[in-house]
Amino acid sequence: MKSRYSIFSLARNALSYHEKWPQAWRSPEPKKSYDAVIVGGGGHGLVTAYYLAKEHGLTNIAVIEKGWLGGGNTGRNTTIVRSNYMWDESAALYEHSLKLWEKMSKELNYNVMFSQRGVLNLAHTLNEVRITKRRINANRLNGIDSEWIEPEQVKEWIPLIDLRAKGRYPVFGGSLQRRGGTARHDAVAWGYARAADALGVDIIQQCAVEGFDIEDGEVKGVRTSKGTIQTKKVGIVVAGHAGVIANMAGFKLPINSRPLQALVSEPVKPCVHCVVMSGAVHAYISQSDKGELVIGAGADSYNGYSQWGSNPVTEDTLAAICELYPMFRRMRMMRQWGGVVDISPDASPIMGLSPVKGMYLNCGWGTGGFKATPGSGHIFADTMAHDRPHPIAEPFALDRFKTGFLVDEHAAAGVAH
């Protein structure tokens, strides 16, 4: 039984100089067989394991991770959480997730520092104004909070911005989702790992998948660097490496893996109080609790697994940031990195069954998977437990590329890229 984190446990552990906190999760060796194996120990995979154990009674399960928990895109994104997507299918998915974000810290007894500071999406052209207003109307019809704000209100939200129409990127207004915000990404992985572990889930790190045992189109086991694990259910939740895993299982996915970049600046006093996104110029900015500006850039234009990213992309983003926020021209950047994202043709995820029986897919989240972490895992656990897509996951099946019913969110949601 895990000890609960509280003000009392904090005080009690202060007496022993915080040297006696119990471990948050075990690091067991893999067993010979499990009822289900989740490949990928990022946010989505850990949430899946948590809900499989909590809501579907599957506790003999393992999460296997090639590196360390949350060391992939979970720890590399810009932590923006919002649900103002245009199409009904996406709205249902991301709003389901946002509702879980709102109670996450309490449910996990782990502070994920979810801060609903508001997400502002800027419109820089008349065309963007029209599409943004259309999206706001669609959001409101789906019960998602979303409002149009005029340039003067943008200035109130973010006084540093340069609104001048004679500038390169004039601001004609924007959409605001007040319930959107940011969270501490590592805490999300750690919180779910701790909660899943408490329910009996084995979390196995430093364990790479090397292949699958598949007989008559049905999965029988996973070959890993720590030996073969027998199982009849495998959930593939590996983001950028989804294609690599699919190739091992003998099928292809409609996914291109590309580095997506982010940067942080030196820490400064509070100056950006909400998240400001600007899809048209590929510049997202927010300020972390430590004071660093967290800046998101675009994805590379070509495939790559380098977790580094191409320089021209960073340059374009920073050029736009300097135009929009002239004060940041003298800001120094501390770190820059990339995460390998799995971009699908319609910028919507792929969730549900795969061509191999017993193998389930949760990938294609591309550049925006972090916000969906709890909802994705919740829906995917249900899909795995019942061997059929959850109603919210149905439109996101791999089959949609055969039927042509794509969920085209590229431009519709103000999803950049």
Partner 1 sequence: MLLIPCPYCGARAENEFGYGGEAHKVRPETPENLSDGQWADYVFMQKNTKGTYHERWVHSQGCRRWFNVIRDTLTNEIQAVYEMGETPPEVDTKTYL
* Distance in angstroms (rounded) separating the CA atoms of residues 86 and 134: 8
Q: Which residue has the tokens 């299982």?
A: 249
Which residues lie below 8 Å from residue 399, measured CB to CB, with a gap of 6+?
A: none
Per CB under 8 A, the segment of 70-78, 170-178, 302-310, 366-374 that binds partner 1 is: 302-310
For partner 1, the closer CB: 67 or 167: 67
Q: Residues 344 to 363: which contact partner 1 by CB under 8 A?
A: 345
Nearer to partner 1, 143 or 404 (CB): 404
Verify binding: residue 229, partner 1, rule CB under 8 A.
Answer: no
- Core vs surface per residue 230-258: b (16+ CB within 10 A) or e: ebbbbbbbbbbbbbebbebbeeebebbbb
Q: Which is nearer to partner 1, 234 or 272 (CB)?
A: 234
Q: How far is the CB of 200 from partner 1 (least distance, A)?
A: 28
For position 379 contacting partner 1 by CB under 8 A, the verdict is no
Q: How far is the CB of 6 from partner 1 (least distance, A)?
A: 42
Q: Which stretch binds partner 1 (CB under 8 A): 9-17, 155-163, 182-190, 251-259?
A: 251-259
Amino acid residing at 88: D
Which residues are CB-contacts of 48 (< 8 A; sequence separation ≥ 6)? 38, 235, 237, 362, 376, 377, 380, 381, 384
According to the binding rule CB under 8 A, does residue 256 interact with partner 1?
yes
Which phi and psi angles does 171 have, rounded to 5°?
-100, 115
How far is residue 394's CA from residue 235's CA, in Å, rounded to a whole number? Answer: 16
Contact between 351 and 380 (Cβ < 8 Å):
yes
Note whether 401 binds partner 1 by CB under 8 A.
yes
Part of the chain binding partner 1 (CB under 8 A), chosen from 170-178, 249-257, 285-293, 366-374: 249-257
CB of 251 to partner 1, least distance (A): 9
Q: Which of 70, 26, 34 is nearest to 222 (CA)?
A: 34
Which of the stretches 27-35, 155-163, 175-183, 202-210 binds partner 1 when contact is defined by CB under 8 A?
202-210
Tokens of 178: 């007040």
Among 160, 199, 208, 322, binds partner 1 (CB under 8 A): 208
For residue 115, what is the enclosing H or E element?
Answer: none
CA-to-CA distance for 211 and 221, rounded, in angstroms? Answer: 9
Q: Which of 191, 298, 304, 338 binds partner 1 (CB under 8 A)?
A: 304
Query: Any contact of residue 306 with partner 1 (CB under 8 A)?
Result: yes
CB 63 within 8 A of CB 202: yes
Tell me, by CB under 8 A, how many residues bind partner 1. Answer: 28
- 337 makes contact with partner 1 (CB under 8 A): no
Stretch that binds partner 1, among 29-37, 77-85, 297-305, 323-331 (CB under 8 A): 297-305
Rounded least distance, CB 59 to partner 1, Å: 29
CB contact burial 102-128 (16+ within 10 A = b; e otherwise): eebbeebebebbbbbbbbbbbbbeeeb
Residue number, 364 or 375, with CB nearest to partner 1: 364
Residue from 25, 39, 42, 66 binding partner 1 (CB under 8 A): 66
* From 150, 311, 387, 388, residue interacting with partner 1 (rule: CB under 8 A): 311
Residues constituting the chain: 417
- Could you list the residues that contact partner 1 (CB under 8 A)? 66, 208-210, 241, 243-244, 247, 252-257, 301-306, 310-312, 345, 401-404
